[in-house]
Amino acid sequence: MKTIHEIHNAFDLGKSTPLELTQQFFNQIKASHHNAFITLCEARALNQAQILTDDLKLKYNGKVPRTEKPLYGIPLGIKDVLTMDGVRTTCASKMLENYIPPYTATAVIKLENAGAISLGKLNMDEFAMGSSNENSAFGPVIHPTHSDRVPGGSSGGSGTAVAANLCVAALGTDTGGSIRLPASFCGIVGMKPTYGRISRYGQIAFASSLDQIGPMTKTVEDAALLCEVMSGVDDKDSTTADVKVDSWFKTARDTKVENVKGLRVGVPQEYFIDGIDAEVKNAIEGMIQKLKAEGAEIIPVTLPHTQYAVATYYVIAVSEASSNLSRYDGVRFGVRPPEAMQARTLVDFYKKVRVNFGSEVKRRIILGTFALSSGYYDAYYRKAGQVRRLMRTDFENAFQKVDVMVSPVSPSTAFKLGEKSKDPLKMYLTDIFTIPASMAGLPAMSVPVAKDHQGLSIGMHLIAPRFNENVLIKAARIVELLAGDSK
Amino acid sequence: MSFQYLGQEVDANTEFETVIGLEVHVQLATDSKIFSKAKSRLLEGDSVSEESVNANTTEICAGHPGTLPSLNKKAVEYAIKAGLATNCKINLKSIFSRKHYFYADLPKGYQISQFDLPVCEHGSLEVELGENGAISKKIGITRIHMEEDAGKSVHLSGFSLINLNRAGTPLVEVVSEPDMRTPEEAGAYLRKLYAIVTCIGVCDGNLQEGNFRCDANVSVRPKGSTKLGTRTETKNVNSFRFVEKAIEYEMERQRQVILSGGKIIQETRLYDSQKNQTFSMRTKEEAEDYRYFPDPDLPPLIIEQSQVDILRASLPELPDQKRDRFIAQFGLTKYDATMITAGKSLAQFFETTVLGSADKNFSKIAANLLNGEAVRLLHEAGIEINESNFKPQHFSELAKMINDKLVSSTAAKQIIAILFSESTPEVGGVAGIVDREGLKQVNDLSALEPIIEKIILDNPKQAEEFRSGKEKIIGFFVGQAMKATQGKANPGMLQDLVIKKLKE
């Protein structure tokens, strides 16, 4: 009993209730050593679960109202970057260790309106900055199956929690790969929808033009369902798009392997470079062969500006971050240490407050402040924006010829704790294949396809054209079916 | 002694010219804030108390993590209207940018403003200068951009308090070209801009509340030079008179600095109205780098031409048009008409006062009453006419009584003071005051004859002066005689009588 579909069947048969299931998850969370959660909202969740359990019996005659509330009684984990009214929201930062927001993120409201239960707030890299979940003020998250390894970041808590069955599914956020990388490392499905699909209202900003909420689940079908529930235009987020949301859940449920016939699968040449772990390369190429064998048309494509992706991404992301994090100054937001109260000037005050940022966050604020400085803006931020448009055009051109593109999610499988934490550049390259889709605002997914000789998961990365989540989900479901038990 | 300035030899005899550009922050009179649904201004009946501090805030204006701005469409409409009323080109695409600086009352650490592409550009307005406003001058408007206001800091001893009620209030900043050359021109520009934005209803125009705040950029140069001197910016002056005084002070200060061989420093200055001087706030070297970049939370603002056309058609009669109409319709002088149309409420008040009257003499009297004593009292109290005890019916009745020679203009002053300080019935209220105070003009002066004769007898020297041709002395006798009637005598008739008696 792992997926939403299975759980709902169990509810229908009276084999479980939302309350029993919720209690079960809290027991598992408390017994786990993964450090996946920062804050549990046990009383709140149990209260929700009790109401749903009572309603199921009395209001719905024991039959889950799947159409009305497609997530009925489903316990979820929420990445600690999303606000919930009255629930501590830390962004895994010491800066916000006592922050209790007065409002709830739109995405969380939508999930809870659909019957979901929020178990608690998941650990992450501080302010979603990192690829290994080692940058948390609350300690690193441990890989679900290999305790000496990282789960990937920044949604590492989400990846581990889903994989270690500490919740049915989780919300992550993705700026340059923060959903897809931990999904790949942890062996689960991760989906970043098109930029503008899901309201960012209540998502504490890292890089506003890139940030996007998405589901992390055990199956493609669950990812499709969560995404469908959360998507749609929101008048509280002017960057959301009023584009029709298809029934992605139905697409996922109804797709069969034979639907691959005629699917044009693009293989970007720039994504199969030296330095990719051989096992990763073999696994992805193996899956491409399987797709071909089942009738997909495999087409090499080229994305010529890929080589600039990481550099331009870091200019844009750190610039926006330096701006977004300005508000943590200890006046309203941010912990105010006692020595700050002795400060005689504002600058001195800020200095004493802002020591509470972790070193990666400080590094990015400094870089971003520099990149936006007068005299440098044109050379960095503006130039990066121009390159970003070129990358978008690369994708548009390539998508003239193909329906989806596939690649590895990351050059390697989950690495060891501490292995890259001293080398930011090496760490940044972990996201080399996920960053371009973020830069172009495209929907993308990570689907587990194989394991390496150590039993570490390998994910396939799928990218689709803007607002074509439907073809993305279809392709992802086919890959999931073809991977079978080898994942 | 002579010095070099702008590549020219200058000394005490050099004639200097002042170059003035103004940046005016106009608070838009929308009900909600520019990026949230929080209440943007106090409406009638709203209480102002300690509890109301920070009451008009949502998570958005408080800058809570995770919040996003949603643009208030009304604020956009108001900005476009302000642009249209000042002959601006409306940019159908404009961009919101973030302007960064750290200050305790700026909740997000940045202000959302417009930088590269503002909503309006390339406008102008006409100002009237000289004794009777006879000279017209066109002042260019570089741009009008939209932005949010910051909160308010209150500094007390040892600590500061912050009120975020104002945070997120919609503003437009109207930036002029450096087209003004005198404090008078700057004052005229401000008054005209004020008249326009209040007339079209995009600003409440409450100066005390900071609805209309001005920064003045001032530099000086030898007259005739085409180069620009180093400018200083005097910030946040919220009265027209103070702007003029601050500029007067600043131009003289800069001239003195240059003539003593010093250097003008590009800096921000503050005006102290108590001392009537400006002082340095910060120099450019310390000035901040605002790190502007387009706000990724707000897509470019796209405006349809059809919307601009609708807004243009919806604009009411503008102050200049109204002024010209008042001159034609009511026979006012240009000066009177300009004064009357300087504020929306005064113009409306005047039109109600003279409603339906074709008697231009009556209209002129009404205009004089309003422009003179009434405006003086309002100005002293710092209120608008519609916030006062004055009612158009009062002025209509009073003007009619003057026109019918039933009260004198001296008595009218007294009546206006009473109308101002007391609540008076709208119908027949003035007649009531005239009766109560015994202010009815005395048109039958026969009773005065012995009194005038006595005054002449008591002042033989002055009487002799008059007879020897110094006719101005007549004022002395009229004054004395008027005093004896407690101001009630018809001044024209009184003067005729005094002359007659003096010549006897």
Q: Identify the pLDDT of residue A159.
A: 98
Residues B455, B399, single domain; the answer is: no
Q: Identify the pLDDT of residue A275.
A: 84
Nearest to A373 among B68, B289, B298 (CB): B289
Cα–Cα separations (whole angstroms), residue A131 to A35, A81, A177, A410, A421: 16, 15, 8, 11, 9
Q: Identify the pLDDT of residue A381.
A: 95
A234, closest residue in chain B (CA to CA): B70
Over residues B154-165, mean pLDDT: 88
Is the distance from CB of A37 to CB of A157 less than 8 angstroms? yes
Helix (H, G, I), strand (E, B) or coil at A24: helix
Mean confidence (pLDDT) of chain B: 88
Of A424-433, B74-83, B305-314, B431-440, the one with minimum mean pLDDT is B431-440
Asked whether the beta carbons of residue A83 and residue B65 sit closer than 8 angstroms, the reply is: yes
Q: Identify the pLDDT of residue B49.
A: 62
Cα-only R_g, chain A: 22
Q: Identify the pLDDT of residue B42.
A: 65
C-alpha B363: how far from its chain's center?
23
Nearest to A332 among B63, B71, B100 (CB): B63
Mutation choice for B interface testing from A237, A326, A376 by most B CBs within 10 A: A326
Over residues B466-495, mean pLDDT: 79
Q: How confident is the model at residue B147 (pLDDT cuts 50, 70, 90)?
A: very high
Over residues A431-439, mean pLDDT: 96
Asked which of B307, B332, B361 is the last residue of a domain, the reply is B307
Over residues B216-245, mean pLDDT: 90
- Is the pLDDT assigned to residue A440 strictly greater than 80? yes
Higher pLDDT, B460 or A478: A478
Residues B89, B208, single domain; the answer is: yes
Please, which residues have CB within 8 angstroms of residue B123's CB and are 6 or more apart in sequence? Answer: B83, B86, B87, B88, B89, B140, B141, B144
Size of interface A-B (CB pairs under 8 A): 103
Helical H runs in B283-359?
A: 305-314, 319-330, 334-340, 344-353
Q: Identify the pLDDT of residue B382.
A: 78
- Is the pLDDT assigned to residue A302 strictly greater than 80? yes
Q: Structure tokens of A184?
A: 């790949």
Over residues A42-66, mean pLDDT: 97
CATH of the domain at B451: 1.10.10
- Does residue A102 fall inside a structural domain? yes
| Interchain CB contact of A370 with B (< 8 Å) | no
Structure confidence by residue, pLDDT tens digits, A97-137: 999 999 999 999 999 999 999 999 999 999 999 999 999 99
CA–CA distance, B448 with B489 (Å, rounded to integer): 9
Residues B258, B121, single domain; the answer is: yes
- Is the pLDDT assigned to residue B9 strictly greater than 90? no
Q: How far is A85 from chain B (nearest CA, A)?
A: 11
Asked whether the beta carbons of residue B66 and residue A239 sit closer than 8 angstroms, the reply is: no
DSSP B374: I
| Interchain CB contact of A381 with B (< 8 Å) | yes
Helix (H, G, I), strand (E, B) or coil at A129: coil
Mutation choice for B interface testing from A90, A324, A350, A377 by most B CBs within 10 A: A324
CATH of the domain at A33: 3.90.1300.10
Residues B47, B131, single domain; the answer is: yes
Residues B250, B158, single domain; the answer is: yes
Of A21-35, A146-160, B197-211, B275-289, the one with minimum mean pLDDT is B275-289
Q: Identify the pLDDT of residue B489.
A: 75
Asked whether the beta carbons of residue B100 and residue A236 sit closer than 8 angstroms, the reply is: no
Give the predicted TM-score (pTM) of the model: 0.88
Q: Identify the pLDDT of residue B45.
A: 56
CA–CA distance, B196 with B320 (Å, rounded to integer): 9
- Does residue A47 fall inside a structural domain? yes
- Burial of residue B380 (number of CB atoms within 10 Å: 0-12, 13-18, 19+): exposed
A199, closest residue in chain B (CA to CA): B68
- What residues make up the domain containing A59? 4-254
Helical H runs in B439-490?
A: 449-458, 460-467, 474-484
Residues B499, B387, single domain; the answer is: no
- Does residue A21 fall inside a structural domain? yes
Positive or negative, the CA dihedral B266, B270, B273, B277 is negative
Residues B159, B187, single domain; the answer is: yes
Helical H runs in A325-459?
A: 346-353, 359-371, 383-398, 424-429, 435-439
Q: Identify the pLDDT of residue B44.
A: 56
Answer left, alpha or beta for residue A367, where phi above 0 means left and psi between -120 and 50 means alpha.
alpha
- Does residue A66 fall inside a structural domain? yes
Q: Identify the pLDDT of residue A18.
A: 98
Asked whether the beta carbons of residue A327 and residue B108 sit closer than 8 angstroms, the reply is: yes
- Does residue B217 fall inside a structural domain? yes
Say if strands A404-408 and A264-268 run parallel, antiparallel, or are unpaired.
parallel
CB atoms closer than 10 angstroms to residue A141 = 35
Angle of helix B460-467 relative to helix B474-484, nearest 10 degrees? 140
Split into its structural domains, chain A has a count of: 1
Structure confidence by residue, pLDDT tens digits, A216-241: 999 999 999 999 999 999 999 999 99
Structure confidence by residue, pLDDT tens digits, A162-195: 999 999 999 999 999 999 999 999 999 999 999 9
Split into its structural domains, chain B has a count of: 3
Residues 386-445 of chain B with CB under 8 A from chain A are: none
CA–CA distance, A407 with A284 (Å, rounded to integer): 7
Over residues B125-140, mean pLDDT: 87
pLDDT > 90: what percent of chain B? 44
Asked whether the beta carbons of residue B100 and residue A208 sit closer than 8 angstroms, the reply is: no
Report chain B residues whose CB lies below 8 A from the CB of A332: 62-63, 107
- Does residue A131 fall inside a structural domain? yes
- Does residue B312 fall inside a structural domain? no
- Active site positions of A, annotated: 79, 154, 178
Over residues A361-374, mean pLDDT: 96
Is the distance from CB of A470 to CB of A227 less than 8 angstroms? no
Q: Identify the pLDDT of residue B493.
A: 78
ipTM for the complex?
Answer: 0.96
Over residues A328-348, mean pLDDT: 87
Q: Identify the pLDDT of residue B217.
A: 96
- What residues make up the domain containing B338? 317-437
Q: How confident is the model at residue B72 (pLDDT cuts 50, 70, 90)?
A: very high
What type of residue is B34?
A: I
Q: Which residues of B36-65 are buried (b: 16+ CB within 10 A; e: fewer)?
A: bebbbbeeeeeeeeeeebeebbbbbbbbbb
Over residues A53-80, mean pLDDT: 97
> Per DSSP, what are the bridge partners of residue B163?
B152
Residues 93-132 of chain B with CB under 8 A from chain A are: 98, 100, 102-104, 107-110
Q: Identify the pLDDT of residue A363.
A: 96
- Does residue B194 fall inside a structural domain? yes
Say if strands B232-237 and B267-272 run parallel, antiparallel, or are unpaired.
parallel
